[in-house]
């Protein structure tokens, strides 16, 4: 996260004191430009700039370098750090632009045209968390998975890094002051050495914590404050240890260009499967430190000079506002009428981000730094004013909820009513039931696009995610001893059928047992995903296998997303590995005479089609079949020619030969980019039930 005060700190030209870096370093501004462009382009084109998220790590190093140098100069000169003044300066330089964007997001949240009403509660909660700089902890505690783009991100999700950095601003000077006091009290007055030792210890412990936590629980590890402190510490060490700032021409040249090339390599080769932050975060962190440490600028081709050119300085100057604005605009843009996701729309949006960033820098950031009403008064005036601004934003966010609360509650009630009393020929029946031929639904879309996001199974305790490897089972339906025993097993594309199968179990007298793990299909082939997540998936499967071996079952239904990455080790391709893995997993129950029913996966969209449906006609929201549908679903191949396996293929319900639809028979198919609504799954219930009943009857023969 680029800080608005970093330019001011970089510009300080005070004399070097106690070996602390203090002179103007324009190449740091150019490094900031690389970092913000990496993040922004990653968010615009995650498939092309797959490792751009490391730009945030670069900002942490820069902040550690600049803030530590600033604090050490003050500590060396005055013997202390005036905390209130330090925090007041940070508030004046960071909060005006930050609160402006949060206020914009809160106003957007009021509009059902720009924010789906179903997303409003989480949007408001995250705006409040961002306003008070605890967004990183909110995301960590709610198991957000930043790198794999899971869930429905809000307009303020990117505030996690600002929250973490603000926490750094609070903790870092306290650590340095405590270390300095210990140095004076117990180590003959060596403040600088005590500070250096303290920050070194904090950095080492933080790095070890980061590595271990990333292995054991990578999603929250991405956001947790202490797991990131070592990156600030690396920058701090460059600031405090003179020998790390290389003046030698050749050494500086190699160090600087080596750091830049390493960052370029990481930005284009790391991706969501990279175990991150963990030990892999050391690569961009040390690369950024190397660029900062390259201090020689004698020749125009030296990295210090190249990073000091005017365009790089301009982007570095606006980097804070650019970071603030780009993400909300990306989230909002697909909901804007007449806006699309073509390359031209994206480029235009990127240009708009730069324009807004420059305007914010020119008319908000810069004036706020020198506003005499605050700078001429005690620091507490700035701090109280900051709190007032935060409360104002929180109030507007609360108003956004108050304005739409009744609509939200009505929408939830309408979905419940729709499930109980669907129209005739609704949803899949429109395609699959010959009696429904010619039925007209007009512009009907149920559930409404603004509420499709909440149309999901409610028994989340049955669905384990991320590194949770527990083979959690849930039981539903009949408890009669002679009730047919049906298991529903798989990843989130099996979990999306839970409510439908609960209803079938209740209506048909089945006893339903479920096993679900996110992104982990019921398959014997390991995932290609490295680290703890892949290991957790394997462990979960082993646990499920052991439990299934001890259960009396009459049928198993399974489903899975077709794009799961499987390890190809020992096979010609990952596709072949997936097919073999399904057959091996199924074979363990088929060998006991238990039939298996599976279903070809539904299309996967680039973005939630409800964003289009909220602002455009239904026909304008169709997608190209070749872009959305995996034609070679390994489930289809695995089921082919295997006795005891029934394959359901509803592809013709979702797509014709050229396009796929977001709405069929008046039913809204999707609640996000790849999961179907419970309402639509219910319209497929007669065909699910028939397949299970046929399998049960065949087993009894």
pLDDT digits (tens, 9 = 90+) for 610-626: 988 988 889 889 999 99
For 390, the token pair is: 């935060």
Contact 290, 304 (CB under 8 A): no
pLDDT digits (tens, 9 = 90+) for 539-593: 999 999 999 999 999 999 999 999 999 999 999 999 999 999 999 999 999 999 9
pLDDT digits (tens, 9 = 90+) for 511-550: 999 999 999 999 999 999 877 788 899 999 999 999 999 9
Please state, in angstroms and rounded to a whole number, the distance separating the CA atoms of residues 615 and 610: 9
Q: How far is CA 156 from CA 103, 118, 130, in A?
A: 11, 17, 7
Q: Give, as one character, the DSSP assignment of residue 246.
A: B
Higher pLDDT, 91 or 6: 91
DSSP 562-582: TT--B--TTSSSHHHHHHHHH
Q: How confident is the model at residue 275 (pLDDT cuts 50, 70, 90)?
A: confident
The pLDDT of residue 13:
39
Q: How far is CA 489 from CA 181, 364, 496, 517, in A?
A: 59, 54, 11, 9
The mean pLDDT of 628-643, rounded to a whole number, is 94
Whether residue 24 is predicted with pLDDT greater than 80 in this model: the reply is no
pLDDT digits (tens, 9 = 90+) for 53-85: 999 999 999 999 999 999 999 998 888 899 999
CB atoms within 10 A of CB 526: 16
Could you tell me whether strands 511-517 and 463-464 are parallel, antiparallel, or unpaired per DSSP bridges? parallel
What's the farthest any 2 CA atoms get from each other in the chain? 92
pLDDT digits (tens, 9 = 90+) for 340-351: 777 899 999 999
Please state, in angstroms and rounded to a whole number, the distance separating the CA atoms of residues 627 and 629: 6
The pLDDT of residue 112:
86
The pLDDT of residue 15:
37
> Percentage of residues in the chain with pLDDT exceeding 70?
95
Of the candidates 263, 693, 294, which has an alpha carbon nearest to the alpha carbon of residue 501?
Answer: 693
The pLDDT of residue 523:
97
User: CA triplet 655, 660, 664: central angle to 5 degrees?
Assistant: 75
Whether residue 8 is predicted with pLDDT greater than 60 in this model: the reply is no
Q: How confident is the model at residue 373 (pLDDT cuts 50, 70, 90)?
A: confident
Task: Judge if pTM exceeds 0.95.
Answer: no
The pLDDT of residue 7:
44
For 249, the token pair is: 């021409």
């Amino acid at each position: 996260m680029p800080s608005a005060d970093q330019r001011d700190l970089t510009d300080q030209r005070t004399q070097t004191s106690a070996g602390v870096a203090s002179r103007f370093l324009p190449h740091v501004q150019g490094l900031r430009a690389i970092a913000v462009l990496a993040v922004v382009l990653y968010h615009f084109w995650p498939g092309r700039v797959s490792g751009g998220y490391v730009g945030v790590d670069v900002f942490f190093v820069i902040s550690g370098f600049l803030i530590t140098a600033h604090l050490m100069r003050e500590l060396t000169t005055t013997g202390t750090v005036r905390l209130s003044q330090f925090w007041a300066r940070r508030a004046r330089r960071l909060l005006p632009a930050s609160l402006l964007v949060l206020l914009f997001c809160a106003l957007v949240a009021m509009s059902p045209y720009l924010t789906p009403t179903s997303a409003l509660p989480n949007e408001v909660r995250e705006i409040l968390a961002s306003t008070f700089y605890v967004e990183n902890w909110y995301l960590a505690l709610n198991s957000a998975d930043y790198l794999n783009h899971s869930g429905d991100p809000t307009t303020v999700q990117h505030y996690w890094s600002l929250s973490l950095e603000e926490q750094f601003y609070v903790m870092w000077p306290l650590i340095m002051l405590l270390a300095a006091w210990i140095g004076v009290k117990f180590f003959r007055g060596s403040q600088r050495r005590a500070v250096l030792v303290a920050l070194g210890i904090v950095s080492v412990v933080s790095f070890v914590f980061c590595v271990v936590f990333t292995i054991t629980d990578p999603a929250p590890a991405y956001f947790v404050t202490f797991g990131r402190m070592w990156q600030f510490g690396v920058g701090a060490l460059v600031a405090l240890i003179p020998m790390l700032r290389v003046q030698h021409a050749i050494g500086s040249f190699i160090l600087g260009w080596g750091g830049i090339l390493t960052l370029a390599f990481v930005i284009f080769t790391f991706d969501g499967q990279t175990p991150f932050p963990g030990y892999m975060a050391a690569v961009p962190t040390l690369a950024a430190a190397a660029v900062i440490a390259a201090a020689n600028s004698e020749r125009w081709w030296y990295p210090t000079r190249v990073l000091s050119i005017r365009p790089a300085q301009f982007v570095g100057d606006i980097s804070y506002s650019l970071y603030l604005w780009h993400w909300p605009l990306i989230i909002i843009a697909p909901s804007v009428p007449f806006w699309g996701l073509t390359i031209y729309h994206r480029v235009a949006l990127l240009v708009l981000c730069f324009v807004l960033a420059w305007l914010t820098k020119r008319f908000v950031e810069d004036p706020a730094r020198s506003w005499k009403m605050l700078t001429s008064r005690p620091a507490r005036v700035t701090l109280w004013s900051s709190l007032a601004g935060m409360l104002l934003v929180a109030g507007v966010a609360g108003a956004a909820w108050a304005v739409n609360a009744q609509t939200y509650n009505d929408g939830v009630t309408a979905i419940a009513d729709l499930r109980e009393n669907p129209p005739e020929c609704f949803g899949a029946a429109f395609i699959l039931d010959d009696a429904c031929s010619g039925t007209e639904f007009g512009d009907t879309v149920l559930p409404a696009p603004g509420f499709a996001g909440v149309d999901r199974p409610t028994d989340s305790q049955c669905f384990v995610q991320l590194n949770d490897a527990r083979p959690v089972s849930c039981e539903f339906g009949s408890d009669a001893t002679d009730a047919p025993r049906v298991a529903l097993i798989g990843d989130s594309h099996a979990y999306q059928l839970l409510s439908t199968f609960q209803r079938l179990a209740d209506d048909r007298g089945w006893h339903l047992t479920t096993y679900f793990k996110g992104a982990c299909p019921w398959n014997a082939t390991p995932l290609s995903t490295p680290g703890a997540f892949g290991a957790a998936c394997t462990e979960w499967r082993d646990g499920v296998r052991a439990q299934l071996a001890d259960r009396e079952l009459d049928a198993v239904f399974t489903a899975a997303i077709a794009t799961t990455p499987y390890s190809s080790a020992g096979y010609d391709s990952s596709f072949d590995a997936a097919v073999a893995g399904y057959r091996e997993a199924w074979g363990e129950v088929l060998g006991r005479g238990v039939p298996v029913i599976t279903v070809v996966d539904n299309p996967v969209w680039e973005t939630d089609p409800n964003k289009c449906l909220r602002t455009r006609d239904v026909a304008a929201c169709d997608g190209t079949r070749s872009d959305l549908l995996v034609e070679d679903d390994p489930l289809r191949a695995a089921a082919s020619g295997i006795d005891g396996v029934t394959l359901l293929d509803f592809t013709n319900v979702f797509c014709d030969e050229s396009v796929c639809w977001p709405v069929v028979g008046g039913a809204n198919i999707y609640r996000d980019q790849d999961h179907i609504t419970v309402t639509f799954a219910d319209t497929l219930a007669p065909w699910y039930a028939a397949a299970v009943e046929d399998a049960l009857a065949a087993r009894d023969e």
